[in-house]
Amino acid sequence: MKLRPIAAIALRQLYLMRSSPTRVLPMIAWVAIDIILWGFISRYLNTVASTGINFISSLLGAVLFWDFFTRVMQGVTMAFFEDVWSRNFINVFATPLLISEYLTGLVLTGITTSVIGLIVMLLLATFLFGLPFFSLGMLLLPFLLVLFLFGIALGVLASAMVLRLGPAAEWLVWPIPALLSPFVGVFYPLSVLPAWMRALGHLLPPSYVFENMRSVVGGHGYSGNALLTGIALALLDILLAAWLFSSIHRYAVRSGLLARYSAESVS
Amino acid sequence: MSVPAPAAAGVPSVPNAGAVADFALRADGLRKNYGATVAVDGISFGVRAGEIVGLLGPNGAGKTSTINMILGVLQPSAGDIRIEGIELARHRSQALAHTNFAAVYAALPGNLTVYQNLRFFSLIYDVPAGASRIEQLLDEFDLQRLRNTRSGLLSSGEQTRLALAKAMVNEPRLLLLDEPTASLDPSAADLIRGRIRAMAARTGCGILWTSHNMYEVEETCDRVLFLSRGRILLEGDPRSLPRVHGASSLEELFIRLAREPLANEPPPAAPALKRDAPGAAP
Query: How does pLDDT run across A29-77, given as a tens digit for each residue?
Result: 989 999 999 999 999 998 887 777 778 888 898 999 999 999 999 999 9
Closest chain B residue to A3, measured at CA:
B126
3-state secondary structure of A261: coil
Contact of B52 with B221, CB cutoff 8 Å: yes
Q: Give the H or E element holding residue B26.
A: strand B23-34
Q: Considering the domain boundaries, does residue A40 fall inside one?
A: yes
Contact of B12 with B195, CB cutoff 8 Å: no
Contact of A216 with A222, CB cutoff 8 Å: yes
- Which residues from chain A sit within 8 angstroms of residue B109, using beta carbons? 12, 82, 86, 88, 91
Higher-scoring residue by pLDDT: B164, B268: B164
Best-predicted range by mean pLDDT (A148-162, B6-20, B181-195): A148-162
> Model confidence at A100, in pLDDT bands (50, 70, 90)?
very high
Q: Considering the domain boundaries, does residue A104 fall inside one?
A: yes
Give, rounded to a whole angstrom, the gap between the first and last alpha carbons of chain B.
Answer: 26
- Say how far apart CA A139 and CA A263 lie, in whole Å: 44
The confidence score (pLDDT) of residue B39 equals 92
pTM: 0.85
Higher-scoring residue by pLDDT: A184, A260: A184
> Model confidence at B182, in pLDDT bands (50, 70, 90)?
confident
Least confident of A69-73, A196-200, B146-150, B271-275: B271-275
Measured CB to CB, residues of chain A less than 8 Å from chain B are 2, 4-5, 7-8, 11-12, 15-16, 19-20, 82, 86-98, 250, 253-256, 258-259
The whole-angstrom distance between B101's CA and the closest CA on chain A is 8
Under an 8 A CB cutoff, do A91 and B108 touch? yes
The confidence score (pLDDT) of residue B269 equals 42
AA identity, residue B78: A
Q: Considering the domain boundaries, does residue A194 fall inside one?
A: yes
The confidence score (pLDDT) of residue A55 equals 82
The confidence score (pLDDT) of residue B278 equals 39
E strand residue ranges, B179-272:
206-210, 223-228, 231-236
pLDDT digits (tens, 9 = 90+) for B222-238: 999 999 889 999 999 99
What are phi and psi for residue B178, nearest 5 degrees? -100, 100
Total number of domains in chain A: 1
Q: Considering the domain boundaries, does residue A118 fall inside one?
A: yes
The confidence score (pLDDT) of residue A56 equals 85
What are phi and psi for residue A225, nearest 5 degrees? -65, -40
Q: Considering the domain boundaries, does residue A106 fall inside one?
A: yes
> Model confidence at A219, in pLDDT bands (50, 70, 90)?
confident
Q: Considering the domain boundaries, does residue A128 fall inside one?
A: yes
In this predicted structure, the answer to whether residue B9 has a pLDDT above a threshold of 90 is no
Q: Which of B34, B72, B127 sits opposite A94 (nearest CB)?
A: B72
Q: Which of A90, A95, A256 sits opposite B125 (nearest CB)?
A: A95
3-state secondary structure of A208: helix
- Which residues from chain A sit within 8 angstroms of residue B93, using beta carbons? 96-98
- Which residues from chain B sit within 8 angstroms of residue A12, using beta carbons? 109, 112, 116, 120
pLDDT digits (tens, 9 = 90+) for A114-160: 999 999 999 999 999 888 877 777 788 899 999 999 999 999 999 99
The confidence score (pLDDT) of residue B237 equals 93
- Which residues from chain B sit within 8 angstroms of residue A11, using beta carbons? 119-120, 123
The confidence score (pLDDT) of residue B225 equals 94
In this predicted structure, the answer to whether residue B271 has a pLDDT above a threshold of 60 is no
Q: Give the H or E element holding residue B101.
A: strand B99-103
3-state secondary structure of B41: strand
ipTM of the complex, rounded to two decimals:
0.86
- Which residues from chain A sit within 8 angstroms of residue B101, using beta carbons? 94
Q: Which of A5, A258, A259 sits opposite B124 (nearest CB)?
A: A5
The confidence score (pLDDT) of residue B247 equals 87
The confidence score (pLDDT) of residue B15 equals 42
The confidence score (pLDDT) of residue B270 equals 41
User: Average pLDDT of B143-166?
Assistant: 92
Range of A172's domain?
Answer: 3-255
**Residue spans per domain, chain B:** 35-98+173-264+272-282, 107-171
The confidence score (pLDDT) of residue B262 equals 53
- Say how far apart CA A63 and CA A48 lie, in whole Å: 20
Q: Considering the domain boundaries, does residue A196 fall inside one?
A: yes
Under an 8 A CB cutoff, do B123 and A11 touch? yes
CATH number of B35-98+173-264+272-282, picked from 2.60.120.380, 1.10.10.10, 2.40.10.10, 3.40.50.300: 3.40.50.300
Q: Which of B34, B71, B111 sits opposite A16 (nearest CB)?
A: B111
User: Average pLDDT of A196-220?
Assistant: 91
- Say how far apart CA A27 and CA A114 lie, in whole Å: 8
Strand order in the sheet with B174-178: B99-103, B174-178, B206-210, B52-56, B223-228, B231-236
Least confident of A40-54, A142-156, A181-195, A203-217: A40-54
User: Average pLDDT of B93-102?
Assistant: 95
In this predicted structure, the answer to whether residue B67 has a pLDDT above a threshold of 60 is yes
pLDDT digits (tens, 9 = 90+) for A6-29: 999 999 999 998 888 888 888 889
Q: Which of A86, A95, A256 sits opposite B109 (nearest CB)?
A: A86
In this predicted structure, the answer to whether residue B48 has a pLDDT above a threshold of 90 is yes
Q: Which of A12, A20, A258 sits opposite B120 (nearest CB)?
A: A12
- Which residues from chain B sit within 8 angstroms of residue A93, using beta carbons? 72-73
Q: Considering the domain boundaries, does residue A263 fall inside one?
A: no
Please provide the average confidence, as pLDDT, over all residues in chain B: 84
User: Average pLDDT of A102-111?
Assistant: 92
Please provide the average confidence, as pLDDT, over all residues in chain A: 89
In this predicted structure, the answer to whether residue A186 has a pLDDT above a threshold of 90 is yes
